[in-house]
Structure formats: structure tokens, C-alpha cells
Amino acid sequence: MGISEKINSSIGDNYSNKFSSFSNKNSESFQTNNIKTNVETVDINSEIFQIKTKPKVNSISGAVTTKKAESIFVSSQSFLDKIQTYVEETCATISNFFKSLFNKEKVQKIELEEAENSYEFFEGFNYPGRYGVNQGEMYNLCVYEYNGTQYTYYDARALINEAKKNGEPLPIFNPVILSPKTYEKLVNKVKEYGFSEEDSEFILTLIDDAGACSYASTCNEIFHQFSNNPEAFKEVFGYDMYITSTKGYQVLNSPELLLDLYLYANDEKNGGKLWKDGKINKNLLSNEIDPLGRTLIDVGEHQVYMSSDYKNEEVIEKFLKSKEESLDYKTSKLLITDANHCIYAISKQLEEGKSITLDYYYNPNYEDRKTNIHMQSYDENASASVDTTTWSEGSGHSVLITGVTDEGLIVSSWGHKYHIPVSDLKFDKNCYIYCSDICTN
């Protein structure tokens, strides 16, 4: 139940309880021979509605004189008229109250201000080289030691699978957790879905596989839309928007948001295939093993993507609504005709506070399908130049656009700041550009 739902439910229960006794009692009775009224006081939304006590009127005798009878009739009729008017006014007041109650707009507890046009908050508060979400956040939490040498997750995976392929003894790696506190928190988060400890640790290694970039760019969108209101972010998602790194820098809480989105999207009850009721789908296992000898899932083939040749608006909105019912996710495709139009159109959307993503993919139907994107790094600690031939994804990538230059686009990719020449983009042939917005309904 979302925050707004909880508020509305509480309001509904409160009024229901307050009015139940009022609506069910028949304490006001009106009789032709003997008019009776009882006091009934009801507290409605701090307003007091009170039917005041009226004196009893005895039955009218027919054995009186005409003048006296007329006098009694007039006074009795006047009194009855007053009673009728009072009852009608009281009923109208209560009726109007209920109409206003049920016609009220949904109570909004989450208020999102316009997103920052500047992406300075992406910089990581002087954290060297940090710029937005890194899809490799999970496997960076652990290295694998073998014969005195430490290997990254992918290097260790390559070694053990090469040994398996050649029929050689498998190297036995010892995992070394680099950030025990963060690692434990994330493992416990997965366990909340009903997974065992072993499966929870295993799932953390799956996230930075094929298509992980689509999750990273979506998380960048979410962070951008909440950039002016970290308090609202915590209220919606249940955890902080910023965390302190092991080196003491304040950075975006990328690991938890990435994991949250990944767990939701790939759960069978939400349309995914990778797991159900805390159990990994064993029918999707691949021929490869991870550094600890566990058989991997064929993630690239079976996981849900946040974007490919389209934006997965349905899943993203469902994820947001699972956190807060009043949130809406709206996206549209930018129709780009040429390089100059691209820079102009994107700059206008950025000025309006929109989040903009670029999805670049391999198009077998495009005559120049081997054309690559060349990303030049602003960060000396990142690869100086990256293109599609070196990506582990092989055939595509998704990034968040944070700015424009005269020649191209500034983007966040793998947690670093890059520049993409707009001349590399062949619109509607090898790339799509989407604008998105998160708002409350």
C-alpha cells in the first residue's frame, strides 16, 4: 500500500467509525400525535452538529373552542415547520459534507519540485571521477583472490570458465569483501524477498551483466527527478538518496536503488522470469559458472530490460507505483532529424527539467551497422575512449544525457562523465533518444 493509500485508508476508516453510530441510530422520532426529540451530538471533522432538545408537545384535543383550537393549530403548525426546516438543513449539511469528502482530490504527501537543470549533484561531492550511477556497483564490492593475486569478478569468471572449457582443474577463488557494511545491507535486502543467503549473494553478481546499463540509466533518471527533494526520495523508497562511501565521500545511493529496481522487474509476479517466491528459476541456467563455481543464469536472454529499441515505460511506472501510488512516469521519444536539431532539442528539454536517455544499439538492417559510438572521457581515471566494440554488452548501450556541447552530448556512463560526438548518431537507425518525467497524479 502506497503512502497516499495509507493516508486515504486512515481517513476513510476514521470517518466511517465516527458516522456509524450516527447513521444507524433512530434516536430522532417524529410522531403525529406526540412530537418527540432526543439530543444527538456527533463530532464530524472537528465540527459539532447538534440537534437541540425541543419541548414535548402534547396531543391536540378536538374538544377545545374554535379560537383556542385555531391558536393551538397555528402555534403547533409553526413549531412543526421549524422542526421540518431544521431537519432539512441538518440533512443538507451532512449530505454536503459527505459529497465534499468523497469528491476530495487524493491526499498528496509526496511533492516533487522541478528537477534540477544542473547535474552538479551527479559529481559525487568531490569524489574523484564519480558521475552518476555505475552499473558495476555490485561486483565492485568484492574481489576474488587466487594464488596471492586479486581478480575482478569478470577476470575471475573468465579464468574459471576457460579452465572448465579446457577440462583443467578449476581455480579456487577466495572472495574478499571490500565494503562489508554495504555488502551485508544489500544481501539482507535480497533476503527480504525470501531468498537464501547463498542465492542472495549470487543475485548481487548478476546485475552487471547484459542490459545492466538500462537499469543504470533508469536509476539516473530517478535520482535526477528527486534531485531537489532527497527527503521525498527517502519517504518513497524507504532508504537514503545519498550514502557515505568507504573513502568518506557523500555519493548517490546507487547500489540500493539498482538492486531494488532489478529485484522488482525480474520477479515473476511483476512480469519477470528470473525468480519467483524467493526461488531462482533453474530452467534459465547457462553453461557458464561464476568465480565460486555456481552455474550462472542466462541473464542476457531472459531478464527484463528497461530499454532496448523502446522505453519500458510500463515496468518503470509499476515499480514507482509499488513505492508510492501517486507517482506517474511519463516518457516520449524525441524525433531528431539531424545533428544540429539534436543539440537544440535536447538543450530545450534539459531546460524544462526532463531526464533524457540515449539508447544506442546494433541494427542488422542498417547498411552501416558497424558504425560505433566513441565516448571520450572527461575523467582521467576512466577509459580515455570507449566504443561499442569494447562494451561487454556488445550490441548496445544506454546512457543518461546531462548536457550538450557544440559537437555532441555529455553523458553519464559506468559512473563516469563522457562526451559522445553527435556525428556518431544515426537517428532512428542506430539510436533512440527519450525524454521522461516523474510527477504526482
Does 27 or 90 have the greater pLDDT score? 90
Q: Which cell goes with 275? A: 525468480
Lowest mean pLDDT among 228-242, 335-349, 397-411: 335-349
Q: What is the pLDDT of residue 176?
A: 96
Lowest mean pLDDT among 37-46, 83-92, 129-138, 142-151: 37-46
Q: What is the pLDDT of residue 339?
A: 81
Q: What angle do CA 174, 180, 185 make, to 5 degrees?
A: 120
Q: What is the pLDDT of residue 45?
A: 37
Q: Is the pLDDT of residue 37 over 50?
A: no
Q: What is the pLDDT of residue 384?
A: 67
Q: Is the pLDDT of residue 16 over 80?
A: no
Q: What is the pLDDT of residue 99?
A: 45
Q: Is the pLDDT of residue 418 over 70?
A: yes
- Per-domain residue ranges of the chain: 3-102
Q: Is the pLDDT of residue 297 over 70?
A: yes
Query: Among 174, 179, 166, 180, which residue's Cα sits nearest to residue 149?
Result: 174
Does 231 or 56 have the greater pLDDT score? 231
Query: Among 102, 145, 76, 83, which residue's Cα sits nearest to residue 16?
Result: 102
Instruction: Tell me the pLDDT tens digit for each residue of 196-255.
Output: 999 999 999 888 776 788 999 999 999 999 998 999 999 999 999 999 887 888 889 999
Percent of the chain at pLDDT > 90 equals 44
Q: Give the separation between CA 300 and CA 393, rounded to whole angstroms.
A: 9
